[in-house]
């Protein structure tokens, strides 16, 4: 039996969430608001605020350009914690526009780090990275010891971001933590765009009465982890001093084949809607990135030893919550 996981309180702390209107950022911000933190969201001008409409009046929203150093300096000066989640997440787009991807993501992060070095050296920065920086590995579960071999510009820039944080931690004394996340799903993620999370996209297809399409045999293994488990992890990483200067691999620790994942979505959706869902197998696209064909399960032991974290909410419970959330929205 696992020990009860106690999430520390950031009550009264001044917290900045970049990308705070996005999927992960909005879920984190909502939890911080419930925790009575003083939350500021840094978002692009004109960013859709659908994900934060239920608590928009309880946060400060700064619309700015992360490439504008003055915008960043103004935002970070008095913060206790910065959760840096603003990032271009479309792998294919990163390959088509590599220079734009580098500029937006890496220069933006350097602006934050330089600003903190000069104006707020005591802040703690938690960075959302990805387990795909590891690349294709023959060993699963995979830990931080697997090495890094990114296969796309998106992943290469995430890894570069990790290295920036390490340098600013070791050379300039900033408190930084990197969390490499495996496949995240949950409420608030797009369900009409496969580049924003394939599990949520599959949920969208079932609710639109479209067949679920599986590439190849569908036997490749993924580690899907519910978003609220990662929200726990971000808060624990922030509040735990011995995470400073470290990078961690996170996930559920359990693997599912793609076939198993879509079968579970099919079963729950059919029970909710009474409609039959079809599953079809199609060939892999010729241009598909090899990272999409890898097998992966996360070994989160290092983070568990540092913070006590484990995924409190099972895949099945998280999936049920997510499908019910979107089903109610479209009814």
Q: What is the mean pLDDT of residues 204-214?
A: 91
Kindly report, residue by residue over 65-124, the tens digit of the pLDDT: 999 999 999 999 999 999 999 998 888 889 999 999 999 999 999 999 999 999 999 999
Q: Are 278 and 202 in contact (CB under 8 A)?
A: no
The 8-class DSSP code of residue 63 comes to E
User: DSSP E strands: which ranges in the chain?
Assistant: 14-18, 38-43, 60-63, 81-84, 124-130, 175-181, 184-185, 212-215, 221-222, 225-226, 246-250, 256-257, 279-282
Kindly report, residue by residue over 82-92, the tens digit of the pLDDT: 999 999 888 88
Cis amide bond preceding 146, omega within 30: no
The pLDDT of residue 133: 95
**Chain mean position to CA 284:** 25
Residue 330 — pLDDT band, cuts 50, 70, 90? Answer: confident
14-186+225-253+298-312 CATH fold: Rossmann fold (3.40.50)
Q: What is the mean pLDDT of residues 37-41?
A: 98
Q: Are 183 and 197 in contact (CB under 8 A)?
A: yes
Residue 294 — pLDDT band, cuts 50, 70, 90? Answer: confident
Spatial separation of the C-alpha atoms in residues 36 and 33, rounded to whole Å: 5
**Both structure tokens of 263:** 């079968």
Residue 287 has pLDDT above 70, yes or no: no
């Amino acid at each position: 039996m696992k020990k009860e996981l106690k999430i520390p309180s950031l009550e009264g702390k001044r917290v900045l969430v970049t990308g705070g209107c996005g999927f992960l950022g909005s879920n984190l911000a909502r939890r911080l608001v419930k925790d009575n933190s003083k939350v500021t969201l840094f978002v692009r001008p004109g960013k859709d605020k659908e994900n934060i409409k239920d608590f928009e009046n309880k946060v400060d929203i700064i619309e700015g350009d992360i490439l504008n150093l003055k915008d960043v300096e103004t935002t970070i000066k008095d913060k206790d914690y910065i959760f840096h989640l603003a990032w271009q997440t479309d792998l294919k787009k990163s390959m088509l526009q590599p220079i734009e991807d580098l500029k937006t993501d890496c220069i933006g992060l350097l602006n934050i780090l330089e600003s903190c070095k000069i104006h707020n050296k005591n802040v703690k920065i938690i960075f959302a990275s990805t387990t795909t920086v590891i690349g294709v590995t023959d060993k699963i579960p995979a830990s931080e010891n697997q090495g890094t071999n990114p296969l796309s510009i998106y992943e290469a820039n995430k890894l570069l971001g990790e290295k920036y944080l390490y340098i600013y931690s070791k050379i300039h004394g900033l408190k930084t933590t990197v969390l490499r996340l495996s496949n995240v799903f949950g409420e608030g993620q797009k369900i009409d765009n496969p580049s924003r999370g394939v599990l949520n996209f599959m949920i969208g297809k079932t609710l639109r009465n479209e067949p679920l399409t599986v590439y190849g045999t569908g036997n490749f293994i993924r580690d899907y982890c519910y978003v609220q488990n990662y929200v726990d992890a971000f808060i624990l990483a922030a509040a735990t001093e011995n995470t400073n200067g470290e990078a961690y691999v996170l996930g559920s620790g359990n693997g599912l084949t793609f076939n198993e994942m879509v079968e579970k979505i099919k079963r729950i959706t059919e029970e909710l809607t009474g409609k039959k869902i079809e599953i079809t197998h199609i060939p892999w696209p010729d241009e598909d990135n090899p990272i999409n064909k890898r097998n992966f399960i996360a070994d989160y032991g290092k983070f568990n030893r540092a913070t006590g974290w484990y995924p409190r909410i099972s895949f099945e419970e998280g999936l049920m919550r997510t499908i019910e959330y979107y089903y109610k929205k479209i009814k």
